[in-house]
Amino acid sequence: MTETKIIDGKAFAEKLRGEIARKVAKLKTEKGITPGLAVIRVGDDPASEVYVRNKVKQTKEVGMNSFELRLPKEITEEELRAKVRELNDDKTVHGILVQLPLPEHIDGFIVIDTIDPHKDVDGFNIINVAGLAVGEDPYFIPCTPMGCLMLLKNYFQNPNNYPKDKVPGQKPLAGLHAIILGRSNIVGKPMIQLLLKEDCTVTIAHSKTANVSLLVKQADIVIAAVGRPEIVKGEWLKKGAVVIDVGINRIASPDGKTKLVGDVDFQSCLGIAAAITPVPGGVGPMTIACLLENTLRAAKCTVVC
């Protein structure tokens, strides 16, 4: 039986935030610049409130300025875009994030494209999306795929973690076969481009894909981002595969309470997967850490770009 390594995203993110805090302090001392992250939240969605609160807390912890704009759900699309334009012109704000989802009467694509691409630290502006799609370096990479890639590259930095049939290449992931379950604009699609750039062979599967389990069985890397609790079973996996679970689903537990699970049936994968991210404590903490990394880059760019 394979001994499955648990990929500790929480510990990795904590280390990354520590590095960011040191770089922020240096930027303040040497250039007199304090990175600033502005988060816009529209309405009172409970999940969004939790996410924004965590982002604000961690932004302050690394020494950055945090600007939170809470706007009523009745705000018009043009009024919201006007707020974004104000932040575009604000030199103390280096990164702008519009928390999704937005109310139904507001077109999220139009609002996101109002953000200056040099401040689009979520990586969702069409300029950044297009740059990633054509294989160029965008200003910013979407945070969750960026975090997934960091965890994968860290794991495969160790040549002992290569599959036995892989000839090591110049890049840690070169030659590996990855399957991405889910084609969202936030995770699935950008993940394709990031893995291609690392010289992976990439398969994308979605709700209309036939024989998904057979495709998964061929993959060295499985990235699950479909939003369906525990859909990926251990029996689907190739022995020794590395599993990155992006899903966050709340389900009922036997004690009558609820619990968080991923898109992967974690227990059934133990002993089959070579490594796996847990939920919680895997990809989740990496998303905010990568947001802070992007904000730091945006602030540094005001000096050297």
Sign of CA dihedral 128, 129, 130, 133: positive
Length of the chain: 305
- Domain map of the chain by residue range? 31-116, 142-284
122 is catalytic: yes
Confidence of residue 151 (pLDDT cuts 50, 70, 90): very high
In one letter, which amino acid is 254? Answer: P
pLDDT tens figures, 21-52 = 999 999 999 999 999 999 999 998 887 888 88
Q: Is the pLDDT of residue 192 over 90?
A: yes
CATH number of 31-116: 3.40.50.10860
Say if CB 205 and CB 179 are below 8 A apart. Answer: yes
DSSP 117: T
DSSP 231: -
Region 225-232 average pLDDT: 96
The pLDDT score that the predictor gives to residue 164 is 61
* String of DSSP letters for 80-93: HHHHHHHHHH-TT-
pTM above 0.75, yes or no: yes
Catalytic choice (23, 55, 83, 238): 55
Catalytic choice (58, 99, 245, 263): 99
Catalytic choice (58, 83, 120, 122): 122
Distance, in Å, from the CA atom of 202 to the CA atom of 179, rounded to the nearest integer, reads 6
157 is catalytic: no
Q: Do domains 31-116 and 142-284 have the same CATH topology?
A: yes
Nearest-10 Cα torsion for 78, 84, 88, 89: 70
Say if CB 149 and CB 202 are below 8 A apart. Answer: no
Architecture of domain 142-284: 3-Layer(aba) Sandwich (3.40)
Confidence of residue 256 (pLDDT cuts 50, 70, 90): confident
170 is catalytic: no
CA angle 271–272–278, rounded 5-degree value: 75
pLDDT tens figures, 83-119 = 999 999 999 999 999 999 999 999 999 999 999 999 9
Q: Is the pLDDT of residue 168 over 60?
A: no
| Burial class of residue 291 (count of CB atoms within 10 Å of its CB; 0-12, 13-18, 19+) | buried
Q: Is the pLDDT of residue 12 over 70?
A: yes
User: Which residues, including other chains, have CB under 8 Å from residue 83's CB and lie 6 or more apart?
Assistant: 40, 69, 71
